[in-house]
Structure 1
Amino acid sequence: MTDPSQVNARVNTGSLPARVPDTSGAAQTARAASEQARETTTRLTTGSRVDVQVKAVQQSGDLEVRLRTQGEGTQRGQWSQTMRVGVTDSLRPALLDALRTLAAGQGRGGMLSAEVVSLTPRVMLRLMHSDGEGAPGTKAWFNAQLRNHLPGARQLSTTFADWTRGLREAGVDRGAPSPLAHQRELTQLVKQVLERLASPRELTDPARLAESLRNSGIWLEALLARAGSQQGLSLDADLKAQLLRLAGKVRLQQGPDLPAAGADRLAHLSASLSREVDGMLKQLVTLQLQNAENGPDQQRWTVELPFQTSAGLLTLDADIQREAEQEADQGEHWSMQIRLDLPVLGPLLIRLGLRDNRLHASLVAEQGASAALLRERLPELRAQLEGRDIEIASLHAREGRTERKPPARAPLLREQA
């Protein structure tokens, strides 16, 4: 940000008007504020605690904040000028979206606490979660965030399928020109998002599957925190990052120089696309909230991963959990539930458990014929798994229900007025 004293110095160069207003007092005040801000930054030390007023949240994950050092008891330093800081990966991913809301309606009660973890090459903070009711990280905070995001959330696969169908009907795949340059740019951005979705080949290759999961959008903020210290880390393929970029482009497409009919058509397209992108972002934030709510001692992740097939767009819906209590002399204990709705087999639930380096696998199909077909192919599946040096403890298939039970939580609607 520009130092007010430097602005004043530039104004006073060159020819002066006949009557020069007395700005010495204002200049002194500005210089004092600037010096005070620099002094506040200088007083920061690694490990010190600061109060934080969030002014803005950048797309990169950086925060524009004002800082105030915390002293003994009730003593506090002076507020700094607005400065840009980074946050560490201890920040829960969904918290950044809550901080955007906090920055938009910053009030006296919106102050956060943080610890300074680094001063060079820039200030890095680790946000501290207070224990007050409704503070970030508390149960009340999670429930409030879910009430805010869940009602407007849109399933990723459903929206992407609508986009694919819309592009096909508009003739984009055949290279038909769009009547408006602005509309053509939005259409191209949508097409790029769809082209970056995973394929079945990627999901059946262990290394590429791991990459697809990493780019699912639910770890964006953690990846952003690593990007500051890890050279060459690209976030272009991250789904949430792509949707945030698309949302930014949609907001910029105002079309002021278009004819009335073209402007109306673009405004309708932008409004519809904005609602859809916002709904998918809320879906990703909801997944992040569910993952963050478990806490650091309970490692559990819920992932929604759309992928393209020759039969259309499908979704891999996965719950991954690492059991917390494990004996030191035993291997890691992992469990995973994967839900798929395939064109031939219909809804499937695949339960996988890894205990003592041995795999327990159960395949559940809602259709009886699909369950029978899976049972017939179990020997072939066992041979393929053993060919990858996986020791099978159990493997079976049956008919049953596949839907996920909704987690128990506070009601989304408050009964009081």
Structure 2
Amino acid sequence: MTVRGVDRVAPAIPALPAGDVRQEAFERALQTQVGKSMQVAVLARLADGSFLVRVAEQNARMALPAGTQPGTELPMTLVSTHPRPAFQQAGAGQLIHPTLVQQELPGLRAPGTAALAAFRAQLAPAAEHAGADPRNAHVSLSDAGRTIARILSSGQQAAGEAASIRSTTPLTGPGTPEPARLAQALEGALAQSGLFYESHVAEWAEGKRPLPELLREPQMQRAVADGASKGMAAEADPAAFHLISQQLAAHENGRITWQGQVWPGQDMQWEIHKDAPEDGPRGEADTEPGWRSGLRLRFAGLGEIAATIVIAGDQLHIQLKAESGDTGALLRARSGELVAALGAAGSPLASLDIHSKQERGGE
């Protein structure tokens, strides 16, 4: 009886565990580089579609565009370091987050082209030609892992892109809507989008959410329409791919965008995201992240108005930007009514900034 020998197992390159001192040192080293351009050396395309790069003298994974070529250097701007480092590639809108790899790769401590040459020297010819990391050649995924990979690849969004909800019908009927009813409709547009379905199922199981609300969400509607057996086969449904991708994007980026009509003929774009804290010492009031909500509306008589609302702890800040100077002056003249209304509602303003594009240089 002949027993075949075991092939050499080449492990995948794991990410650093949370709280690792190397990750903390990496973030400290980048704090003085915010806003500056840095060269990122692309060493290889890994088996999972991400890329192994050399940045700030560290080896990391990055989710770069699919057409990126190993062996090149990319100029990237460091946008922020909190809550984690974020880079932006020239000409691209999305943010890219590096994840340090755990194992040391011999010969890759040199920066730039020296690191590229050192890495290419370690690659087998076939792997170098394919642009893949040979250490991932023997890595296999479970059935569940392959299913998740198919879902992610089918509905993948660009790194840093907000989860976008598009409404095909107006939230309210014609005419000026009642503020309370419009607020309720906007809340329902987010709550029933399916982005928070699993947490809503948990609330329903605890008796905190009624079943009729759960039945309005797309996952439940799909299960009811298709039958339980087909409804469970999410990997066969392109719509499910897209929704799962949106859920992951919302969780990863803390950012959601809603686009649609608030009433017939009135388009609106609304975005909600975590307001990243600024660098520097943080007091007790800054332990919880703030939230920023922004929307854009275009009115027939006033032109475009952009509103930004920031909630930080128990403080409320509002910024209004008008398209024209006349509209900006009108908003300032009526600002007292807004301040009084919010105060009466129990949400006093901490600050109110009203300006026009002309006053801020067309920003």
Larger Rg: 1
TM over 0.5: no
* TM-score category of the 2 structures, normalised to the smaller one: 0.3 to 0.5
Question: Structure 1 or 2: larger strand share?
Answer: 2
Question: How high is the TM-score relative to the length of structure 1?
Answer: 0.37
